[in-house]
Amino acid sequence: MFKKASIGAVTIVAGLAMAQSANAEFVIGGENGWQLTTDGIIDVFSTYASTSPMPGGSRSMSLLSVGGTEGSYDQRFGIGVGLLPSVIAFNVKAPTVNGIDSKVRIGIYPNIQNNTGATGSVGNRFETSPSVDFREVFFTAKGKYGELLAGRALNLFQGKNILNDMTLLTSGTIPGNAFRGGTTLGHIGYGYLYTNFGPQIRYTTPDFGGVKFALEVAEPYKISVDTAKTNSPRIEAELSYASKFGETSVQAWMSGLYQTAPRSTAVGVARAGKDNESIGGAYGVVVNFGGISLMGSGYGGKGLGMVSAQDGDFLGSTSTDANGKERLHWGYLVQATYQLTPTWKLGANYGQTRQEKNDNEVYNDKNPVVMKNQESAVFSVTYNLNKFIQFVGEYIYAQNTWQDGAKQHSNQFALGTMFYW
C-alpha cells in the first residue's frame, strides 16, 4: 500500500481498497528533514452502454442518454477513465518544528480519452486534449491539538459516502458524457451526491479513542439557477469513528452541510430577493470481517440537487423548483464485497437518489418534467495481477424515473485495468 496516500483523501481509499496494492513510493531528499514523494494511479476502462429511448414530452435531461433527445435505442463503446481520472500527485514533507508535522500535496487528475464533440455521436481523433483537473492543492499542519488543512481538497459532506463506494476505483454507472471526454459516475446521482473538490479551511480534532470531528469553512455554491450572489460561506462538518475489535474493523460517520444564498431581484424571477437554503445530513457504516465487507450509507436534506451537491444551474438546477422553492432530496447505497482469494474479489452494490415533487409544481414546455428517482446496481469481479496492477470487470444496470412515471434504462459493461504506485 503506497505510504503517502494518507495525505490525499481520494488516494487514501484507493490504497485501502486494494488488497494487493503497491508497497512503494518514490522518495527524494531527506536532508534536513525535507522529503519529496510521489504516488498515483493510471486507469483505463473500455465501456459499453445500451440505453433505451428518451421518453417523449418536455422533461429534464437524462444522465443515461448522450444528449437528452434520443428517439431510439442508443449503443455506445468507448475507452477512457473510470470514476477517478488517472492521478499523479506530489507530496512535500517539511521538517517537524515545535511538534508540528507539515505537508503539501498537489494532485493532478487527467483524463485519457479524446474530446469527441458536443453530441458525442462522432469521435474526432484529432481533438487530443483531454481535460486535466488540479483537484488537490493544499497543505496540512498536524500536532497534538489536531490538524489544519488549507487549500483545495475533497469536501466533507458525503465525502466518506463516495470514498467507501467500491466503484470509486472502477466505472460504475456510465453517463453519456463519459464517451466525450468525461469520467463515469460510479454512484454519483445514483446513491449519493458528488461532494466535489473545493477551496476550504478545515480543522480536525485529534483522535479520541477512534472518534474525530472536523469542521470546514468552504467556498459557497450556487443553490439555484436564480442565485444572485454567494455572500455567505458553506459550512460542512463530519463526526467519524474507526476501531478494530479482534479481526473485525468498523468505521462510521455522520456529515452535514449548511448554506444560504439570495435569489435574483430581476423581473420575472420567482421569490425575487428571497433566500434559498441548502441543508443536509449524511451517514454511513462499514464493517469488515473474514474477507467480507458490508457498507450502508445515505443522505437527506433540502436544496441539495440530484447529481452534484447544490447543483445550481447544472443540468437545469434540481435543487429548487420553478417556483423558487427548495426540493426535498434523499438517497442511499448498500454494498457487499467478498475477498474470495488473495487475488480475486467479488462485489455488488445498489443505490438510488430521489427528490420529492413540491406542491404547486406545474410541468409544461417551459417547466419540463423533472426526475423522481435515479437507481443503479453494479456487479464486479476484481483480479490483482500483482501488487501494482489490477483488472476489473463490471455489469451495471441503471434506470431513471421521472415524476410522471416515465422511465429510461441502460445495460452497461465495463472492463478496465489500473496501475498503482
Question: How many whole angstroms separate alpha carbon 93 and alpha carbon 89?
Answer: 13
CATH of the domain at 295: 2.40.160.10
With beta carbons less than 8 A apart as the criterion, state whether 166 and 339 touch: no
| Mean pLDDT per 10-residue segment, the chain (421 residues) | 36 38 58 88 95 86 70 86 93 94 95 63 59 91 97 97 96 82 90 95 97 97 91 97 96 98 93 95 97 98 92 79 94 98 97 94 85 96 96 97 94 96 90
> In Å, what is the CA distance from 140 to each residue of 74, 152, 286?
47, 11, 27
Question: How many whole angstroms separate alpha carbon 4 and alpha carbon 98?
Answer: 22
Q: Is the dihedral of CA 325, 326, 328, 329 positive or negative?
A: positive
Q: Domain count of the chain?
A: 1
Domain of residue 64: give its range: 3-420
Residue 237: predicted pLDDT: 98
Residue 300: predicted pLDDT: 98
Question: How many whole angstroms separate alpha carbon 355 and alpha carbon 361?
Answer: 13
Residue 375: predicted pLDDT: 97
CA 248 to chain centre: 27
> In Å, what is the CA distance from 61 to each residue of 1, 67, 241, 369?
41, 8, 39, 10
Residue 7: predicted pLDDT: 34
Residue 66: predicted pLDDT: 62
Give the H/E segment covering residue 12.
helix 9-16
Give the H/E segment covering residue 162.
helix 159-163
Q: Would you say how long the chain is, in residues? A: 421
Residue 263: predicted pLDDT: 95
Cβ count within 10 A of residue 388: 17
